[in-house]
Chains A and B, each alone.
Chain A
Amino acid sequence: MPRDLRIWLGGGFILFLILVAMFAPLLAPFDPLEQDLMAATAAPGVEPGHWLGTDSLGRDVLSRLIYGTRIALTVAFVAAALACLLGTTLGLLAGYYRGWVDAMVSRLVDIWMAFPPVLLSILLVAVLGAGLTSVIIAIVVIDWTRFARVVRAETQQQARLEYAEAASALGMGHGAILWREVLPNVLPVVLVLLSLEMGIAVIVEAILSFVGLSVSTDTPTWGGMIAEGRQIIYQAWWVLVFPLGALFLTVLAFNQLGDGLRQWLDPMLKR
């Protein structure tokens, strides 16, 4: 797929999701928490207004899907941004200063990578207690290593180049060289990783919701909907399939955006 198309499609879908999340109260045809036991597990289009059907408690699937984007996007943006900030900072310092800073960060990354990430996140949230903040903390604590590893390698490479030497011959301090010379060259990689990380964060949040460790069950989340739908998959497939589809498309969009950005920002692939 051409890179521009990837960026437009991926970015467009994410923009659409942002708008949906912002205007959820206006867009949702029903209150996502309103139960209507008379209309429970109604197939899409059977009950008037319930276009995507209802779940086992008669709640509107479309409305719950719409409200679910709020949690998904909040986690995607906040957790990914914080993981990016932490990982990039440590990666820059490790790659630039080397020596004991590098040794410490690298060992930390090695230790982190030794744990299976999903298990670690479940463990973390179990310790921290369920809730949105815990989910975000868990994702940050686990995924900063992705940024640290890549940024460290990239920084090492950039700091060796002559423009960094020329800057120090100009009397620029380490801070100035890192901030003004190295960071702008590392930024493209960071942006790509950030986009991919948002997709990962959405999945992790869904996993944690699925096992009931995310926000409380009265807040609609895609993961929570999938967990509920799983139990009645043979009676009401729509309760499972629509949130699964939303999750799939969202992650796909973030990945496409990331891939598109990578090609777009890479000067060797340009022109």
Chain B
Amino acid sequence: MSPVIDIRNLSARSAVGPILRDVSLSVNAGEVMALVGESGAGKSTIAKAVLGILPAGIEVTGGNIFFEGTDLLALSPARLRDMLGVRIALIPQDPLTSLNPARRIGDQLTDGLRLRAGMNRKRAFDRAMSLLNDVHIREPERVLKRYPHELSGGMRQRVLIAQAFSLNPHVIIADEPTTALDVTVQKQVLRLIRDMQREHKTTLLFVTHDLGVVAQICDRMTVLYGGKVLEQGFTAQILKNPQSPYTRALLAASPRYDQPEQSLEPVPEALIAELQREISA
């Protein structure tokens, strides 16, 4: 099986220093791959590089990002735009700011359907209604007329999930889609993403810092630190038997719901110092 996304030796840097160092990873069709790491590990940078929306000041210095055999980094902006939304979509991090506050949900949700799929207004709204149904939003016709600030955070994230799936993309990149949500809502949203992913057989690249989330929905995982891949493999295997000392430390720093009395261990400073040395070498 050839990978849908194949990132090879990707490096990126900003004015401050390197952000990604020789990152290679591949995601197979229909699989959920987690990108795990703490803040600054470069996981979001990878996601944005795939979408071609790197912020100004960060530039790719080497490597390739193959999507179904095409190198996305070699595409013109216009060709890349043709792929976005239709073949590669994003579930953004913050549902509060990722919806336009000045536009009704219906108008935003139908943007892709009208501009990219060429539907007329009527058909796009019908489709939007069924999309909202798919993400378990009640009274979709009323929600379509609402503004974002009239919806709860969970509802907004559902709208964004519906939007990501609206054009049946092959790959969806979820950039910490549950970080901004309450814990109870997180669980529902995660389950929704997993269900939608299975139903549509979408390949999912899931960016997160939460190992609990990884354990719940990801088939494989890539552990990053300082822009470098430390460990890669099947989630179950890595969680049971982590090879990298950093992954072990990360697991020790995560709460376990079955053993709440067990105290959490911060990642040892000696280990961080060693990682830093290793990376800069």
Residues of A with Cβ closer than 8 Å to B? 161-163, 165-173, 176, 180-181, 184-185, 187, 267
> Is there an interface contact between A184 and B102, defined as CB atoms closer than 8 Å?
yes
Distance in angstroms from A131 CB to nearest chain B CB is 40
Please, how many angstroms separate the alpha-carbon atoms of A168 and B163 in the complex? Answer: 13
A267 contacts which chain B residues (CB < 8 A)? 101, 149
B126 interface residue, CB < 8 Å from A?
A: no
Complex partner residue of B84 from A161, A162, A168, A180, CB under 8 angstroms: A168
Distance in angstroms from A167 CB to nearest chain B CB is 7
Mind listing 8 A-B residue pairs with CB under 8 Å? Answer: A162-B98, A167-B111, A170-B90, A171-B83, A171-B85, A172-B85, A176-B111, A176-B115
Distance in angstroms from B104 CB to nearest chain A CB is 10
> Is there an interface contact between B102 and A185, defined as CB atoms closer than 8 Å?
yes
> Is there an interface contact between B85 and A169, defined as CB atoms closer than 8 Å?
yes
Please, how many angstroms separate the alpha-carbon atoms of A180 and B107 in the complex? Answer: 9
Please, how many angstroms separate the alpha-carbon atoms of A169 and B98 in the complex? Answer: 11
B145 interface residue, CB < 8 Å from A?
A: no
Residues of B with Cβ closer than 8 Å to A? 51, 53, 81-86, 89-90, 92-94, 97-103, 107, 111-112, 115-116, 149, 160, 163
Distance in angstroms from A165 CB to nearest chain B CB is 6
Q: Which of B100, B103, B112, B116 has the most CB of A within 10 A?
A: B100
Number of A-B contacts (CB under 8 A): 70
A165 contacts which chain B residues (CB < 8 A)? 53, 92, 98
Please, how many angstroms separate the alpha-carbon atoms of A152 and B42 in the complex? Answer: 32
B107 contacts which chain A residues (CB < 8 A)? 180
> Is there an interface contact between A169 and B89, defined as CB atoms closer than 8 Å?
yes
Please, how many angstroms separate the alpha-carbon atoms of A162 and B103 in the complex? Answer: 14
Distance in angstroms from B62 CB to nearest chain A CB is 23
A172 contacts which chain B residues (CB < 8 A)? 81, 85, 111, 115
Distance in angstroms from B249 CB to nearest chain A CB is 31
A167 contacts which chain B residues (CB < 8 A)? 100, 111
B99 contacts which chain A residues (CB < 8 A)? 163, 166
> Is there an interface contact between B111 and A163, defined as CB atoms closer than 8 Å?
no
A180 contacts which chain B residues (CB < 8 A)? 103, 107, 111
Complex partner residue of B94 from A162, A171, A184, CB under 8 angstroms: A162
> Is there an interface contact between B111 and A169, defined as CB atoms closer than 8 Å?
no
Please, how many angstroms separate the alpha-carbon atoms of A167 and B111 in the complex? Answer: 9
> Is there an interface contact between B92 and A162, defined as CB atoms closer than 8 Å?
yes
Closest 3 CB pairs of A and B: A171-B84, A171-B85, A184-B102
Given contacts A170-B85, A170-B116, A173-B81, are A185 and B92 in contact (CB under 8 A)?
Answer: no
**CB closest chain-A residue, reference B102:** A184
> Is there an interface contact between B100 and A185, defined as CB atoms closer than 8 Å?
yes
Given contacts A187-B102, A267-B101, are A170 and B160 in contact (CB under 8 A)?
Answer: no
> Is there an interface contact between A184 and B51, defined as CB atoms closer than 8 Å?
no
B93 contacts which chain A residues (CB < 8 A)? 162
Complex partner residue of B82 from A163, A171, A181, CB under 8 angstroms: A171
Distance in angstroms from B57 CB to nearest chain A CB is 12
> Is there an interface contact between B89 and A170, defined as CB atoms closer than 8 Å?
yes
> Is there an interface contact between A166 and B160, defined as CB atoms closer than 8 Å?
yes
B102 contacts which chain A residues (CB < 8 A)? 184-185, 187
> Is there an interface contact between A171 and B92, defined as CB atoms closer than 8 Å?
no
Given contacts A162-B97, A163-B99, A166-B90, are A171 and B116 in contact (CB under 8 A)?
Answer: yes
> Is there an interface contact between B149 and A171, defined as CB atoms closer than 8 Å?
no
Distance in angstroms from B70 CB to nearest chain A CB is 15
Please, how many angstroms separate the alpha-carbon atoms of A165 and B55 in the complex? Answer: 9
Distance in angstroms from B206 CB to nearest chain A CB is 16
Please, how many angstroms separate the alpha-carbon atoms of A163 and B112 in the complex? Answer: 14
> Is there an interface contact between A171 and B160, defined as CB atoms closer than 8 Å?
no
Please, how many angstroms separate the alpha-carbon atoms of A171 and B82 in the complex? Answer: 6
A185 contacts which chain B residues (CB < 8 A)? 100-102
B160 contacts which chain A residues (CB < 8 A)? 166
**CB closest chain-B residue, reference A185:** B102
Distance in angstroms from A98 CB to nearest chain B CB is 8
